[in-house]
A and B are shown apart, each in its own frame.
Chain A
Amino acid sequence: MPTDLTTWLHIIYSFLHDISIATYIGGAIAMEYVLGPAQSSIPPAQAQVMGQKTADRFLWLVWGSLGVIIVTAVLRLEKLGHLSFTDPPFFQSNLALTQDYGRTLWTMFGLWCVLVANGAIMTFYLRPRLAGKLKAGTSAAGVQASQQAKMEAARWVERITRTDIVIALVIALLGASLRFGGLL
């Protein structure tokens, strides 16, 4: 068993990083391909409540995972000596874009930013649209327009979730390649 703090920190960062990636990828796949179809087996009103509850809860997991992934990634890079918090220019030479390792890592960071942007679109734009309630006295045309907007928002949520799954799988491929010096 490791006896020094540095090794323990390395293990803890790796564990948190791996479990967050698993939560993001596995969670998105389970939400899209397991819970989604199961939701359609119950009456629509109850399915809507279930969809709202599962999505709200899952968004916590998504934001938590994305946050832990980037924090532990930075801490691991520092532990591996690729990054320094104190010595300028902070990034060591193997993180330069001229290196396979650097290119792969910066591509992963760019894709992580895309996941964050997609998460923000879902959380702050699409989810409120899906959850919007009708006011008393809304006309039939208003009800129909609202339903149309909700269906459109639901379609976008599905598209973005599937895109996120693909992006996360690409990030996992790039991450797996880092052990062998990078892929790009």
Chain B
Amino acid sequence: MDNLLAWLHTVGWAVYVGGAITMEWVLRYAQRTMPPSQVAEVCKRSGARYRWFGLVSILVVGATGLAMLLRIDDASLAGRAGHPELSLGDAYGQTLLLLTVAWAVLLAAVSSMAFWLHPAQAKRSQPEMTKEEVQVERERVGRAIRNMDRVLKLELAVSVVAVGLGASLHAGGLL
């Protein structure tokens, strides 16, 4: 059971963080040479899938993380480097708390992408719209894409910090 939880936790983080790195470092690079209309189409299509991958993986991370936390006992902690304690007075407990905050920020970021920012990218142009209305609609979609970009950057930064915090738990915590 411990093996399974640790594996699911690792895979959840890997899909989330690796996905964020790939979206930022690979997709954004490829988009630089693409015409804006195709950038919008690729953004819409990739975002449509990525948001669900992100949401499921961050929920798996949360569920398995909580299950692993509940299974920690004094005996298992005693065998770890730095002899950590599950208390807010100890670096291990403080790091775990900060990791939980980072997870909550990531959940908020990916939820905002899934339920708000990505749906906002859909164009709602109608044939009867005036030029001004079409322009307003284009600007609104452009803003939604820019907001999505900002959230992607934020989630990448927070997720990399979270991996660092998680890695420090092997050595008793970072704080």
Contacts and interface: CB of A to CB of B under 8 A. Distances in A.
Interface string B120-153: 0000000000000000000000000000000000
Interface in A159-184: 169, 172-173, 175-177, 179-180, 183
Contact of A21 (B14, B160, B175): B14
Report the contact-size class of chain B (Cβ under 8 Å from the partner).
35 or more
A173 B14 CA distance: 12
Interface in B1-30: 2-3, 6-7, 9-11, 13-23, 25-27, 29-30
A61 B21 contact: yes
B42 A33 contact: no
Given A49-B33, A57-B30, A38 B46 contact: yes
A27 B18 CA distance: 5
Given A2-B174, A18-B167, A29-B15, A180 B2 contact: yes
A106 interface: no
B27 A42 contact: no
Contact of A23 (B3, B18, B29): B18
Interface in B85-125: 91
A34 to B, nearest CB: 5
Interface string A33-65: 111011101110010011001100110010000
Nearest to A21: B14
Given A19-B160, A25-B11, A180-B3, A61 B45 contact: no
Majority secondary structure of chain A interface residues (helix, strand, loop or mixed) = helix
Given A10-B170, A14-B171, A172 B14 contact: yes
B53 A34 contact: yes
A131 interface: no
Majority secondary structure of chain B interface residues (helix, strand, loop or mixed) = helix
A35 B91 CA distance: 40
Contacts of A177: 3, 6-7
B16 A33 contact: no
A26 B41 contact: no
Contact of B53 (A17, A33, A53): A33
A38 B164 CA distance: 31
Contacts of B15: 25-26, 29
B42 A39 contact: yes
Given A11-B174, A38-B49, A180-B6, 13 more contacts: A7-B82, A11-B168, A11-B170, A14-B170, A14-B171, A22-B21, A34-B46, A35-B22, A46-B38, A53-B30, A54-B27, A176-B6, A176-B7
The 4 A-B residue pairs whose C-beta atoms are closest, nearest first, are A26-B18, A14-B167, A176-B6, A38-B45
Interface of A: 1-2, 7, 10-11, 14-15, 17-19, 21-31, 33-35, 37-39, 41-43, 46, 49-50, 53-54, 57-58, 61, 169, 172-173, 175-177, 179-180, 183
